[in-house]
Every structure is written in C-alpha cells, then in structure tokens.
Amino acid sequence: MSKPTPLSGFPELLPAQRFAELAMIETLARTFELHGFVNLETRAVEPLDQLLSKGETSKEVYVLKRLQDEGDGDAGMGLHFDLTVPFARYVLENAGKLEFPFRRYQIQKVWRGERPQQGRFREFTQADIDVVGQGELPFHHDVEVARVMAEALARLPIPRATLQVNNRKVLEGFYLALGLADPEAVMRVVDKLDKVPAEKLVEMLHEEAGVGAEDAAKVLALAEISAPDRSFIDHVRALGADHPLLDEGLDELGSVIDGCAEVEGVDVVVDLRIARGLDYYTGTVFETRLTGYERLGSICSGGRYDRLASDGRTTYPGVGISLGLSRLVVPLVADGFGADRSVPSAVLVALVAEDSRGASDAIANALRANDVPCEVAATAQKFGKQIRYAERRGIPYVLFPGTDGAAHQVKDIRSGDQVDVDPATWTPPSADLTPTVSHSTEESNK
Amino acid sequence: MSKPTPLSGFPELLPAQRFAELAMIETLARTFELHGFVNLETRAVEPLDQLLSKGETSKEVYVLKRLQDEGDGDAGMGLHFDLTVPFARYVLENAGKLEFPFRRYQIQKVWRGERPQQGRFREFTQADIDVVGQGELPFHHDVEVARVMAEALARLPIPRATLQVNNRKVLEGFYLALGLADPEAVMRVVDKLDKVPAEKLVEMLHEEAGVGAEDAAKVLALAEISAPDRSFIDHVRALGADHPLLDEGLDELGSVIDGCAEVEGVDVVVDLRIARGLDYYTGTVFETRLTGYERLGSICSGGRYDRLASDGRTTYPGVGISLGLSRLVVPLVADGFGADRSVPSAVLVALVAEDSRGASDAIANALRANDVPCEVAATAQKFGKQIRYAERRGIPYVLFPGTDGAAHQVKDIRSGDQVDVDPATWTPPSADLTPTVSHSTEESNK
C-alpha cells in the first residue's frame, strides 16, 4: 500500500485532538445525565422510505448496497443523516417499553451523501438531547432543554457561546396581528436575514409573501429585537400588534429566558430573527453562535415539534436541541485545540535493563492500582533518551526504579524536580492524572 | 407512520440495557487508558479497493452510493467490516505524526453486508487494542496486550472468561520438526478441531495437507495440550519434536502465560488447539470463551501480525486483540443483563404544585451541584403517584420539598425510610449515584 491520503469530508483526528473531543463528549454526557437524560444508540441505517418521508429530497443520503447482492430481497436502506429521524422511529418502535416523558441524549455519527467536490462534511458527530411525551408534553420541558444545553455549552472548553432563543408563536402571532395571509412564507424570508440585505428582504417579502412596504417594516423591526432578559416583551408591545398567539408566544419565550438566567459561562438571549423557516418547529426555536467562529453559523439548533412521531393513533410531541460536535471540533482543532499529551499516561516507568522489565512492570502495576495511567519504556535506552521519549508524548513524570535497594525516584520533567517515592502510595497531583485540554483562541467561557 | 419493526441484524438496546453496555465500554476504556492506550476513532468508510485488498472477497461489504449520484467522480467506498483495516490505513496515513510504539484502543461499530435472511449481525460494536511499531516491535508487547485484555475481561460485569493463548511458531515449528511439507495447510485443518470429530480430522489432514496417520496422531496430540501455566512445555517436549522455531514459540508462549499469571478474575490458559488458520497471524494468537456462553464461540480474538501495514519502504508490525462487544452484550441482554434503572437519575424531586416548579428546580440544581443526577417530577400528581413514577424508572429516592418553612424530606422508596435533608449538602450513598449493572446468569467473575 502506498501512503493513503485523507478522504475529503471524512475528518479524522490525531490522538491529542481526539482526546480533546472525547473530553467534550464526556462533559456533554455528564451534564445530560445530571439532568436525567439517558443515553441511547440507534443503528446507523434506516429504511430509505423513512429517510425520504419528510419530502426532503434535497437531503443527500448514502444508500447501502451489498457487494454481493444477488437481488435477494435486501430492502433499500440508507445511512441516517441526523439523529431525529432514527429517534422518532425508535420511540414508535419501543413506545410500550419506554416511560414518558422520555429524556434521551444521543452522541453519534451521521452521514450526508454530499458531492466530494463540495468540501462539506460527509461524516460528522452530533450530540442531541430531546424530551418526548406521549400524547402531550408540558411547556416546561422547553425551558428544561434550553437550560440543559446552556449548561453543557458553558462547561465545554470552547470559546463563549451565545444561545439564541425565539418562539415561532411570537412571529406567527405578530404576522397574524398584521393580517398577513401566509405567516409561513414570511418566516422563510425572515430566516434569510443574516444573508440578505434589508432592502432585498423587503422586496422578497413582497414577492414571496405578498407583504406591503409598511408591514414589511414592522416585520423587520420585530426581527431586530433581541435582549438577554424579559425586556424584549416591552419592545414587541411597542410595535403595537395584538393577537392571542402572540401573547402565548411572548409568555413562553419569557419563561425560557427566565429559566436560563442563572446559567453562567454562556450568553442566553432572545433573538427574534431566529425563525428556522424550513423546519417543522411549532414553538420554541434555538440557534447558537460561537464567539470568534461566527462563520460557522449555528453550531447548536433545535426547538419544539408537536409531532415528532405518530403511529396514527398516538402523537409524540418533542422538544430538543442538537449540537454539531464535529462542526465545532474540526475548526477548533485547526486553531490548535487539543490535549497536552498524545497518550493517557501520566507516568513513564523507566527501564534499567531489558532483563529488569519485570521490576518496571511491577511498579507500573502498583501505580495502576491507584488509578494512575502509566506505561513502561519500550526499550532500555539511556535515561536521557527515555526522558525524551516521555517529553515527545507529553508524559509529565518519569519514574526511575531503584536498583540494589536504592529508593525509586520520580522526576517531574517540566520542573526537573526529582524525589524519592514509594509506587504503592505515590500518585501525581490530580491535575496531572489526565491530559489538559485547551484551545489557543483568545476568548474563553471560563 | 405505522409501528416500525426491528431490522434483522441491527440490534438496538432499551435504555437500561444500553446503560449496561455503556458501563462495559467505560470499564474497557478505563482499563486500556491505565495502560497508556489512547483512543482513536476512524471514519466509517474506506475505499473499496482497500477493503477488498486482502483478497477476502468472502467478506460481505456494504458499498455506499449517493442517492443523487450523477456519476460525478465519487470513488467506490464501503463501510469497514473490522477496525484493523482502517487502523492500518490510519497508521500509514499519519505515520509522521505518531510516536511508536503506538498503543491505541478503538471502540466502534463495524458493518457486514450479510444477507438479511442469515440472522447474523449486520451492524455491531467491536473494542480493539493494538500496539504497532515502526520497523520492529519487541515481543514483550505480545505479553502486554494479553495482560491488558485479561484485566479488562476480569473487570467486566460478565460471566468468567477464559483467554486461550497459543503461538503459531509452536505449531509451525512442531510440524516442521515432523517434516510436514505444508504447515499452513495443517493449521487450517487443526483450526476446525472444535467442529469436526478427530477421525474426520485425520482424514482431512491426509487429504488437504498430505499428513500420514502417525504424524496426524502427533498433530492431534499437540492440539490436545492445554495448561494454565508453563507446564505445557514439558508436555510438548514429551512428544519428542525438536526445531528452533518450536523452541522460539515455546519460549514466547511461556512468557505470555507467565505475564498473565497475576491477573485475577479471569482464566488465562495455553491451548494449543487455537490456530486461527485463516488469519494472517505470525506468532502469538488469542481466542476467548465465556463460561455458559460457549455457543458464542470466541468473543475476543487476535494475535501478532508482523505486517500490519507497509508503505513499501517501512513495515509496521503489530499485536492486537479485538473484543466483540455486541456479540457479548446482545446474548447477555437476552438473559437479563442490564441496569436497575432506565434513567440516570438517583433522585426524583417531587412537585407540590405546578406553580412551585421553581422551588423543585432549585432543589434539583442544588443536588446537581454535588454531582447527584436527578429530575423533577413531570406533573404535580398526588405524591403516591409521584413515588410510583420513580419506581417505574428504578429511581431509588424521592425528595419532597418542604412547604411553609417545613424541612425537605427524602424517602428511600426501597426501604420506606424518610428523613429530613438539606439539598445543599445531602447526597445519596455513592452506590446509589449510578445505576447498578448486573446479569442474571449464575457464574460471575466477581
């Protein structure tokens, strides 16, 4: 085999980078579990008709075909392109065995059958949380998923994030108050606010949604409103519209922003330009921007969908939010995000001679008994070379076995300090037990 | 959507079962990291020519095709069927950025494009460890991977495992000592020892490898040897064969069994019938049986391969072992293996009335600040119903918020004990913080 080259769109990480990604996954999992969300893993494939049932033929799907298919009845299957479709199917399939409201998190790969030339991700990891009810799902779960994901974003070793919240009832109620005929069409236009200049938007509102100039100005004025607290309600009221759906939306949105007020390390704001116009959301909607990485767009999006799944008799409403983990990790890694070691080992046990490997192994096992990750030097090189072996891997300590009754000694190769130790009782400071994850950008949420 | 049905060969788990699988993954990861193995994740796809390069066209591969392919240069790609092919490719691709010897573990899904009618797994999770060297890899790493996987098997909440070790140099050296012309062919026959009666094997040895009756008896006598320690060497010597390769193999095999002698909770034995005849191993070979689950065959196999990868100039020898996690978990789950909760929550915070949800949320946040997973009741039902809500999910504690200045109280719903608590300081006993994983079979390695 000659040297292989990477496949465009299928990112892979080096060990120290992967360690940083794993640390993020652990932080996410721990946060979700503290809030009672259980982990699920669904299969990678779904029947093609399910994958395409939303009419979203624009979804690029990878279809599976057996290499040795002889037309023996293998129904069409494809790789899932998100975690929502498989979750909805899982809920329907196992409804009788689940307890509702059902909180789950899922951290898995998804695939998009994009053209290789596009440079887009074709395989990436998402981290989703959802709460799903049977028949009904009280609104307070909208507040819950917002708070849980806000806490998770705050704990991640990433630049500061801004979780933007809106509620489609606010938009729809406002448009209905204005007497606009097709609120959905208006939302689809407003959703382009970040990409299209205001004048062009007025034009589009007229052409695509039949909105006159005066109403268009109000639609845009509404979209301009943002606030870190309940004050947005006064700004909306100042625009003079009135509708029961608007009232309901303002009330819900106020509850979400109140519910996130105490979460530190992240900004949670009401932003009335967030419409998610092409999605099936029915109330609360979320997007997320990362400071210094605005070019990535939203890294974490979701909302309330009153029909996550239905078997014809029972409807399962849900509310959820999905973090694009690879979308976040890959650009961060390009900017130096990673761990300070390429191995988990906190200690390298040096080797005096090949025939004393047993003695070094015994020391390593004593350290492991106290939960200290370590490894024994591969060969009995000169100690200077063994120290460089540790340095190249980022291992902070080298333990030199004592010979002829002399004490064992451990050297902190960063400071050069060397002291006598008993491997049965000595452990490195807890900060050195696991690699440290850091990113090299200026802004941080810490 | 009507109620979906499972896809044969794509196992999925219910929450309490998935929790048990995750606990196993965490135990594996922790054990591997204690020994300095770093986690890697490789992409799910490889170029088809790489997947098929071993000439193993019997491998059933899933080929990917873009739904909207217009013949625009998407090269043939397939889903990986093991973790060894992608790891070998990763090592070649990143050799300049890795430090050797390189220890990695990988816990990922693999896919086999089997006919749906076969009832075989088409998607399953494997957990692999490998050590790979650049140019050379000292033998002591064979001992290392055996010991690491033995420790992992001992720590898993599964019936007692038996790790069977052999060395192909012992077999080949013995056959060469007998003057047999085609040792490979002999090994392929011996590999069938578990499936074929001895008389039939003698026949096959004659037909497929040209072995006479007297030599066949010796070949079978060798294969019958097994021992938990070095005593196997005497038994082999008693058969009278002599060859330098046999000596080398006996020496290596003795080192592996010595190196695993101190691992408790698992049986490590030399078993000279283990040949792995169809694989590319060049020395040490491993298989693993699970007490009470012998029908599964080997759940954990591997060995030394002197040419894991090569770019034409440099060869990368490796030694590794692969645990078939799904192969293990799915049958155990069918026999009752699982966690005692369907949610991570250790505590349900009861709800006095919907308008006091804020008070219950504050209590839950106080518990979470002390790392106690918990959830707030979904609705303000009567307390009896809220207790049953906890019971159905296996949540051991219900915390009742005190009203009008009364103390908060927590009830252990298993014992019925109820005491006053301060949510800022109270935590459940550590054994109750996470679900307990258990299996219902009699034998255990604990």
pLDDT in tens, A148-207: 999 999 999 999 999 999 999 999 999 999 999 999 999 999 989 888 998 899 999 999
| Facing A92 at nearest CB: one of B4, B373, B392 | B4
Residues 137-166 of chain A with CB under 8 A from chain B are: 138, 140
Is A4 part of the contact surface with chain B (CB cutoff 8 Å)? Answer: yes
Is B105 part of the contact surface with chain A (CB cutoff 8 Å)? Answer: no
Does A72 sit within 8 Å of B117, measured CB to CB? yes
The CATH number given to whatever domain includes residue B393 is 3.40.50.800
- Given CA atoms B230, B232, B235, B237 in this order, what sign does their dihedral have? negative
To test the contact with chain A by mutation, choose from B21, B32, B33, B34 the residue with the greatest count of A C-beta atoms within 10 A, namely B34
Does B61 sit within 8 Å of A64, measured CB to CB? no
Is A294 part of the contact surface with chain B (CB cutoff 8 Å)? Answer: no
Is B113 part of the contact surface with chain A (CB cutoff 8 Å)? Answer: yes
Residues B357 and B376 sit within 8 Å (Cβ to Cβ): yes
Residue with the two structure tokens 């909302």: A303
Residue B355 forms part of a structural domain: yes
pLDDT band at B54, cuts 50/70/90? low
Q: Give residue A440's pLDDT.
A: 58
> In A, which residues are within 8 Å of B66 by CB distance?
60-63, 113-115
Q: Give residue B71's pLDDT.
A: 60
Q: 10 Å Cβ neighbour count for B426?
A: 18
Residues A289 and A179 sit within 8 Å (Cβ to Cβ): no
Residue B406 forms part of a structural domain: yes
Is B118 part of the contact surface with chain A (CB cutoff 8 Å)? Answer: no
Q: Is the pLDDT of residue B368 over 50?
A: yes
The stretch B74-101 carries a mean pLDDT of: 93
For the ranges A60-74, B75-89, B422-436, the maximum mean pLDDT occurs at B422-436
Residue B407 Cα distances to A288, B350, B401, B421, B423, angstroms: 40, 14, 7, 7, 10
Does B115 sit within 8 Å of A72, measured CB to CB? yes
- Residue range(s) defining the domain that contains residue A384: 347-426
> In A, which residues are within 8 Å of B1 by CB distance?
50, 53, 88-89, 92, 309-312
pLDDT band at A54, cuts 50/70/90? low
Comparing A17 with B53, which gets the higher pLDDT?
A17
Is A286 part of the contact surface with chain B (CB cutoff 8 Å)? Answer: no
- Outline where DSSP puts E strands in A29-180: 38-39, 45-47, 62-66, 77-79, 102-111, 123-132, 161-167
A297: left (phi over 0), alpha (psi -120 to 50) or beta: left
Does B89 sit within 8 Å of A68, measured CB to CB? no
Residue A167 forms part of a structural domain: no
State pLDDT tens for residues B369-426.
999 999 999 999 999 999 999 999 999 999 999 998 899 999 999 999 999 999 999 9
Q: Give residue B444's pLDDT.
A: 45
Residues A367 and A197 sit within 8 Å (Cβ to Cβ): no
Does B111 sit within 8 Å of A309, measured CB to CB? no
Q: Give residue B307's pLDDT.
A: 87
pLDDT band at B70, cuts 50/70/90? low
Residues A156 and A24 sit within 8 Å (Cβ to Cβ): yes
Best CA proximity match to A65, nearest among B240, B69, B362: B69
Residues 356-385 of chain B with CB under 8 A from chain A are: 357, 361, 365, 368, 371-375, 378-379
Q: pTM to 2 decimals?
A: 0.95
Residue B189 forms part of a structural domain: no
Q: Is the pLDDT of residue B193 over 70?
A: yes
Read off φ and ψ for residue A384, nearest 5 degrees: -55, -40
The stretch B173-196 carries a mean pLDDT of: 92
Q: Give residue B278's pLDDT.
A: 66
Residues B275 and B187 sit within 8 Å (Cβ to Cβ): yes
Q: Give residue A445's pLDDT.
A: 45
Read off φ and ψ for residue A93, nearest 5 degrees: -65, -35
pLDDT band at B114, cuts 50/70/90? confident
Residue A95 forms part of a structural domain: no
Chain A residue closest to B111 (CA)? A44
Residue A420 forms part of a structural domain: yes
Asked, as a colleague might, if the bond just before A138 is cis with ω within 30 of 0, I would say no
Does B1 sit within 8 Å of A92, measured CB to CB? yes
- How large is the C-alpha radius of gyration of chain B? 27
Mean pLDDT, rounded, of chain B: 93
Q: Is the pLDDT of residue A389 over 90?
A: yes
Residue B374 forms part of a structural domain: yes
Q: In this predicted structure, which of A18-22, A305-309, B161-165 has the lowest mean pLDDT?
A: A305-309
Q: Hey, what are B325's tokens?
A: 């996690």
- Outline where DSSP puts E strands in B283-340: 284-290, 300-310, 315-324, 338-339
> In B, which residues are within 8 Å of A148 by CB distance?
none
Q: Hey, what are A270's tokens?
A: 């009401």
The stretch A283-312 carries a mean pLDDT of: 94
Residue A174 Cα distances to A30, A169, A273, angstroms: 39, 8, 13
The stretch B77-94 carries a mean pLDDT of: 96
Best CA proximity match to B43, nearest among A321, A219, A6, A374: A6
Does A342 sit within 8 Å of B99, measured CB to CB? yes
Residues A256 and A274 sit within 8 Å (Cβ to Cβ): no
Q: Is the pLDDT of residue B22 over 90?
A: yes
Q: Is the pLDDT of residue A258 over 80?
A: yes
Q: How many domains is chain B partitioned into structurally?
A: 1
The ipTM value here is: 0.94
Q: Give residue A307's pLDDT.
A: 87
State pLDDT tens for residues A218-233.
999 999 999 999 999 9
pLDDT band at A115, cuts 50/70/90? confident
Over pLDDT 70: what percentage of chain A?
95
Residues A63 and A77 sit within 8 Å (Cβ to Cβ): yes
> In A, which residues are within 8 Å of B4 by CB distance?
50, 89, 92-93
Q: Is the pLDDT of residue A107 over 60?
A: yes
The stretch B164-190 carries a mean pLDDT of: 95
- Outline where DSSP puts E strands in A67-184: 77-79, 102-111, 123-132, 161-167
Q: Is the pLDDT of residue A73 over 80?
A: no
Does A61 sit within 8 Å of B344, measured CB to CB? no
Residue A118 forms part of a structural domain: no
Mean pLDDT, rounded, of chain A: 93
> In A, which residues are within 8 Å of B68 by CB distance?
60, 113
